[in-house]
A and B are shown apart, each in its own frame.
Chain A
């Protein structure tokens, strides 16, 4: 079956702009989590959605937001981009949120 699909794969944005990333989970999975990966901070949890509801949020500023649609697809949005937002953003889907998570290929965001 198809895996987790993230689009776009690469993005270059300018400081101050906003960006929207998309994640389509594995069919049947209702939980989508987002993670940020940087060389300095490693992998950090952003937030998790289950059945269109945000169940938990990591320690990130309010510029980072997300949503989940009725078909379980999820988007995350980063407003007022800063240079430090440059990272690999990974989406993970799982059946219930506490079951095994499968990761997408990621979106590489570069802020210039």
Chain B
């Protein structure tokens, strides 16, 4: 059974600081996604990482994937209040036989304080 572990699960940080969210998963996969969820809202796709060594950046967020270590990171640079949200990583165990569904981490609840 695929397991996806995120840490930390809760993060309170100050504006202007840098931090990294970690996502470890238990089985071979080269498909990993990061989503953002605001309270009461749906999931917004942030990054799609489809190969070992993939790095994607959008504004103050940068995501990377190391399939050998089964690890993805989401790095926040110079945080601003608008980035406060819950961030999920999700792994797709797709093996060529059809979609098996995404397995999500428990999410990292990020609060950025002025």
| Minimum C-beta distance from B48 to chain A (A) | 5
* Known A42-B104, A42-B106, A42-B107; contact A100-B99, beta-carbon cutoff 8 A: no
Distance in Å from the Cβ of A40 to the closest Cβ of chain B? 10
Q: Which residues of B contact A102 (CB under 8 A)?
A: 45
* Chain B residues within 8 Å of A47, by CB: 101
User: For chain B residues 42-67, which have a beta carbon within 8 Å of chain A?
Assistant: 42-45, 48
B-facing residues in A1-49 (Cβ within 8 Å): 31, 33, 35, 42-48
Cα–Cα, bound, A98→B90 (Å): 12
Residues of A within 8 A of B90 (CB): 43
Partner of A103, one of B42, B100, B107: B42
> In whole Å, how far is A31's beta carbon from the nearest beta carbon of chain B?
6
Residues in A whose Cβ lies below 8 Å from that of B44: 103
- Nearest CB in chain A: distance from B50 CB, A: 9
Interface size on A, residues (CB 8 A): 26
List the B side residues contacting A104 at CB < 8 Å: 42
**Is A98 a contact of B31 with CB atoms below 8 Å?**
yes
Contact A103 B43 (CB under 8 A): yes
Interface residues of A in 75-96 (CB under 8 A from B): 90, 92, 94
Residue total for B at the interface (Cβ-Cβ under 8 A): 23
Q: Which residue of the partner chain A has the closest CB to B98?
A: A55
- Contact partners of B45 in chain A: CB under 8 A: 100-103
Contact status A105-B41, CB under 8 Å? yes
B85 at the interface (CB under 8 A from A): no
A100-B98 contact, Cβ under 8 Å, with A45-B103, A90-B42? no
What separation, in Å, do the CA atoms of A48 and B94 have in the docked complex?
Answer: 13
B15 at the interface (CB under 8 A from A): no
In the complex, the answer to whether B48 meets A100 with C-beta atoms within 8 Å is: yes
Please report the C-alpha to C-alpha distance between residue A43 and residue B107 in the assembled complex, in whole angstroms.
Answer: 9
The 12 sampled A-B contact pairs (Cβ below 8 Å) are A43-B107, A47-B101, A48-B98, A48-B100, A56-B98, A58-B101, A97-B94, A98-B94, A100-B33, A100-B45, A101-B45, A101-B102
